[in-house]
Structure formats: C-alpha cells, structure tokens
Structure 1
Amino acid sequence: MVMIVLCSACTQAASDPAREIEDGGERNVETMKSGNGGDDHYPVSITVYTDEGKEMTQTIEKEPKKVVVIGSAMAELMIEFGLKDKAVGLGYLDQSFSIYADQISQMPILTELWPSKEAVLALKPDLIYSVSYAFKEDRLGDISFWNDRGIPVLSAANFNIGRSIDILNYSQESKTSCRYNGVS
C-alpha cells in the first residue's frame, strides 16, 4: 500500500510511451524507485480500516515527503521499496530479528516504544504509516485525531477483520480431536 501511494506518480511515468522514447526505450529506474515522479497523480483516495474494522477513506493531496513510520514491518517495506529517505521518524521497533536491522537502526528513531502524539506532531509529517492497532487512544490516538490536523494515515492490513471467536473455537476443537485420535 505504501508503495502505491508513495510511488504512484512514478509507476505511470514508467508506462508512458513518450517517457520510454525519451529514455531510449529504457525505463528510468531511479525515478521509479525514488518516487520523484511529481504530484501529477494526486490527490489519491485510499480506503483504510481502523483496528475495529471501521472503513475510512484517506485522501493524500500530494506526494508525501515526510512520513512517520510506526512498526518495524512498515520500516522494512519503506526500505524494500527504496523509500527510507522519506521517513522522518520511526517508532515501535517490534521486530528483533529483521534482515533489515542495520538499515532500520540508521533511520531517525523517535522511540523504541509507542511515540507520543506530541512527538509525532513535532515532525510535521505529510503521512503516518502504521499497523491499524497503533490508532487506539492509549497509543497514537484514533485516525480522526490525525485527520483533524490535516495528516492522512495509512493503516496496514487489519488482521481482525473477517475473524471471529467461532473460527478460533473450531481450530481449537480440531486440534483437540486430532490429539485424541493419536494424531499430533
């Protein structure tokens, strides 16, 4: 999702026939990776979900230049897609065995735990990219708190949507019956 938003301008530029002619038929990979495609494709509206499963639309008016990243998994994605330089602050370092540990340690670390709202606001981000459970009152506050301050939020997949206690009970019963039948 972060790649879509932060590089949306550059992906269309890469498929532009006039652009390919200018580049001698080759794509300008550096422009694609760095997100230097400009603001041609903004605003972008994206549907995100709160941790409770409520659907919200986030509109990103222009290409984000200052992104606060919450969670090591989100930092890994920023690194993987060549967007590490857009991160102005990183919080909640929740993964200790990341193959990106060295690169993550070079990012601007706000805190290893949940950053305060004030610390995030002080960075004046264009975007906050995090897992959905960060947007609870005892963590970063809800998404509307940030939207009221003109800061859109990209919340990563909500693993609670589509799950129920019935599914968990079924799984537990299946494991129990397998054990009783001598299957491990």
Structure 2
Amino acid sequence: MQRFLTRTVASIAMAFLIAIAGGCANSEGPASSSGSSDTVTVISNFDYMGHHKEISFHQIPQRVIAARPEVLDVLLALHAEQNVCAAYMTRDQAGRIPELKKLMPNCQFFTNEIDRETALMLKPDFIVGWRWNFRKGSLGDVDFWNQRNVPTYIEENSGPVPAVDPFPPSTVESEMQFMENMGKVFHKEDEAQALVSAIKDTLKEKESLARQQGPRKAITVEFMGNKIEVFGDKLLPGDIIKKLGCSNFNYEVPFITREELRISDADTIFVIYHGSHQDGLNALQNFSSPEFKDIPAVKKGRLVLLPYRYICASNVYTAQCIKDIYAGLYE
C-alpha cells in the first residue's frame, strides 16, 4: 500500500510538471498575470500592401510600441499608457516628452523613428503605427514581426493615399473602428465607446446645422515646395465635407497645377500643414500671390488651416476636425 501511494504521488507530481512545461512551450509572448485573459480577442487589420489579415490576442499586450504620437494619444485616452514600453514623438510633439515621462516612467521616448534593430531590443508584444512606419528602413514589413509572434496594427486611415491601392478610403467610420479595436485589445471598451460617442454626437450636430444652411464647395490642399497636393474624396477631409452635404473638389491624381487651383471656384480652401502653427501661417503665404486673388475663398478670407494630425489617422482629433471643417465651410 505504501509503495502504491508513493507511485501515485510521484505520478501526480510528474503530471503537474509536464503541464507546467507544456504551458510554457505554448506561450506566444511575455506572460503577465495582470494581462491574462480566458478569451481570445480577434480583430481585423491589414498588411503593408493593404491585404486584410486577422490578429489574435490571448492576453492584454504589456510591452507596446506606439510608433506615432497620435497612436500614443489614443492609448492615453483609453488609460492604457502603462502598457507602452516605447513611443516615437515627432519634432512638433517632442516638447511633450518631459510631462509624458512623469506619467509613463517605464516608457522610452524617441525623437527619431524607431527602427527594426531598436524595436527588437525593446522586446515588444504589440506594435501599433502608421503604414509608413512599416516600410523598409524603419520597422520593416509586418510579416517580419508576425513571424516572431509580435502582432502589428496599421492605423486604418494612415494607409490610403491617392496612388496606393487596395487600401479603402479614409472615413470617419474607420477612425472610430480603430479606437474600438484598441478598446478591445486593451479591454478598455467603455473608454473607447466614450470616444466614439463624442465623434458621433459631433457629426450628427454639424450635419443637422449644415442641412439648414445649404451646400458649399471646398478644396483641400497642401503646398509641398513647387507642388500642390490635393486631398480628394478618398481621404478624411473629403469624407467629412461630403457628410456635411458639401462638395469637395476631387482629382484622380495626387497633385494639381496652380492653374487648376486658381479656377477651382471653391468657397473654402482647407490648407494642410505639418509642424507648428507658424508652419501653417507660412503655408497661407502661398495665397498672397496675385494669381489666386479671384478665388471666392480668397476673396472671403475662407482659408482654413488644418494640422496634418487632424486629417491623417486623426483618431482622438476626429471630433475637432469635424468642428473645424464645419466652421471653415459655414462660420
């Protein structure tokens, strides 16, 4: 009987050790008791070329790389900032780093784009960024990371540009989808829903006001040296302008001539700029040229600055972008 009990205890102990070893062997990433979950979260996204893929999460990511400051702003709004191990801050956002360090003492901040070698040393379990972040020479293609069991997510409205397919057009809905997906990943659904509701409420209000005042004509441009880039219907400003019942000058090419801008007959011109507000004021100086003086928008002084973060992967700035576009069209 004693030998039977001894063998039984030994068998139970061996089974326990095998179970532990098996669990470790099947682990897909760094484990954390605070991030564990009994359910698998599956969300849809796409790769660098715009092909759809599904991402599965067996636990809440604990070492996240936020490859753009706009992405970090979403995680801050969701109260998921403690899950971020590294974040890239653009030149115009670098001044925020001292305060962010107080809030996120365990996060490393970079003022240059995070490259693949640096990212590998950070040992991430999730990387979120814009499409451009996953180009060669930066983080590299998403397949590289997925093969290492590191999920990647390309913010929906950071992919589409006039010359790139098969990315879908940028819309208000896809901005809301991004925040909802991040809410699912970090189990912050209530916080995400609050952000989405604010966008829906703003859009509903401005759509109602716009219907009372009638349609307007707008064009959205960015001056890039000697070139003029036009933001047509496939990009977020165009979607918002259409939702407000107005028309957006749309071209099938990414750039237009100065003559095409001159004859656009727009009631409002939205001027996109990067960097500081002074960079925006510098962009407005382009309209001091006499050739543009007869455009209705120039005559009426309806030249409206929109920072790039409002119109490309705008996420938490989407409601403000809707307000600014409405004001540019009507106020």
TM-score, shorter chain, exceeding 0.5? yes
CA contact (8 A) 2:129 2:153 kept: yes
Q: Give yes or no for the alignment of 1:89 onto 2:86.
A: yes
Q: Deviations over 1:99-128 (max 9, x none)?
A: 965443444225311223222122222111
The separation in 2 between residues aligned to 1:130 and 1:155, in whole angstroms, is 5
Provide the identity percentage: 16
Secondary structure at 1:85 match in 2 = helix
Provide the TM-score with structure 2 as the length reference.
Answer: 0.38
1:104 equivalent to 2:100? Answer yes
Shift of 1:55: 2.2
Higher relative contact order (CA 8 A, sep 6+): 1
Structure whose residues are more often helix by fraction: 2
Q: Aligned equivalents of 1:139 and 1:72: distance in 2?
A: 16
Give the drift of 1:96: 2.2
Aligned to 2:46: 49
Contact 1:110 1:119 in 2 (8 A): no
RMSD between superposed Cα atoms in Å: 3.1
Deviations 1:111-156 (A, max 9, x none): 3112232221222221111122111112100110000111001221
Q: Which residue of 2 aligns with 1:166?
A: 252
Which has the higher Rg, Structure 1 or Structure 2? 2
Mapped contact 2:72–2:81 kept (Cα < 8 A):
yes
For structure 2, the 5+ residue unaligned runs are 1-33, 161-166, 170-233, 236-250, 266-291, 299-331
The answer (yes or no) to whether the contact 2:69–2:90 under 8 Å persists in 1 is yes
**TM score, norm. by length of structure 1:** 0.64
2:79 is paired with a residue whose SS is coil
Worse overlay, 69-78 or 96-105: 96-105
Task: Describe the shift of the 1:152–1:171 C-alpha distance in structure 2 as closer, same or farther (beyond 3 A).
Answer: farther
Change (3 A) 1:131 1:150: same
Alignment pair present for 1:114 and 2:113: yes
Specify whether residues 159 and 151 from structure 1 end up closer, same or farther in structure 2 by C-alpha distance, changes over 3 A only. closer
Letter in 2 for 1:72: P
CA distance in 1, matches of 2:257, 2:73: 31
For 2:55 and 2:150, how far apart are their aligned partners in 1? 9
Segments of structure 1 that go 5 or more residues without pairing to the other structure are 1-35
Match of 1:176 among 254, 258, 262: 262
Task: Report if the CA contact (8 A) 1:49-1:132 is conserved.
Answer: no
